[in-house]
Amino acid sequence: MFHVEPGTEVTEPSGPVEPPAAAAVVFGDRLDMARRYYDALAGAGVERGLIGPREVPRLWDRHILNCAVIGELIPQGASVVDIGSGAGLPGIPLAIARPDLRITLVEPLLRRTVFLAEFINEVGLDNVTVVRGRAEQAGVKKEAGGADIVTSRAVAPLAKLAGWSMPLVHEHGRMIALKGISAAEELERDRAELTKAGAGHAEVIECGAGALETPTFVIRAERLPRSERRGANRAAKRADRSKRH
């Protein structure tokens, strides 16, 4: 799935857009690698239809930095699975900003996995693996499952996303879904479905508030052990009944 959103028309730049000051803070001594990712998205990414040309002027703020700042929610040395990775968002910015992480990009379309593999090999991003497939497939679960964290951006509604994400993390592992300013509304709408999928402690979190002009909003939820799910299901049913009355 494309990791771009429709918006108003903007004038395309005549040359590369310089990264904002926040990029140096987020990427540190790996800023040059982030620049190369920007170049890949603005060049081959547009040519191959992975990124819309009107997104190029806002690649840094709306896409690259927007994704990288979720690293503040992820513990040191964690294993991360990024489902529906598309052009590598959020997985590649996260891997650049956090070389301590072990990241698996899951993407079903061949042309996208080729783009991802080419970039990873070109820049030597050795903490990233690409798996071609869908998150719900048994082979993907076998290869990428048992992770600490599963991430996603612009992949699916929250109810469906939880069903794909929770099986890929271990008990007490977490789903981090980038959802935009409507995150709270989506969580309220789909909270019962999250509970059915085995997720609990769901909350909306704002990331990058100190670095970005527009912070990133995510929904974070934890995979509950089976022993805790029964009580969570009962609470969800009570909450659902109360909303109806």
To 10 degrees, what angle do helices 158-165 and 183-196 make? 50
Mean pLDDT of 21-50: 97
With CA atoms as reference, report the closest residue to 58 among 95, 3, 96.
3
Q: What is the pLDDT of residue 241?
A: 56
With CA atoms as reference, report the closest residue to 206 among 66, 77, 101.
66
**Helix, coil or strand: residue 132:** strand
For 116-167, the pLDDT digits (tens) are 999 999 999 999 999 999 999 999 999 999 999 999 998 999 999 999 999 9
For 62-104, the pLDDT digits (tens) are 999 999 999 999 999 999 999 999 999 999 999 999 999 999 9
For 162-220, the pLDDT digits (tens) are 999 999 999 999 999 999 889 999 999 999 999 999 999 999 999 999 889 899 999 99
Spell 124-139 as b/e; 16+ CB within 10 A means b. ebeebbbbbbebeeee
Q: What is the pLDDT of residue 240?
A: 56
Please state whether beta strands 199-207 and 216-223 pair in parallel, antiparallel, or not at all (unpaired).
antiparallel
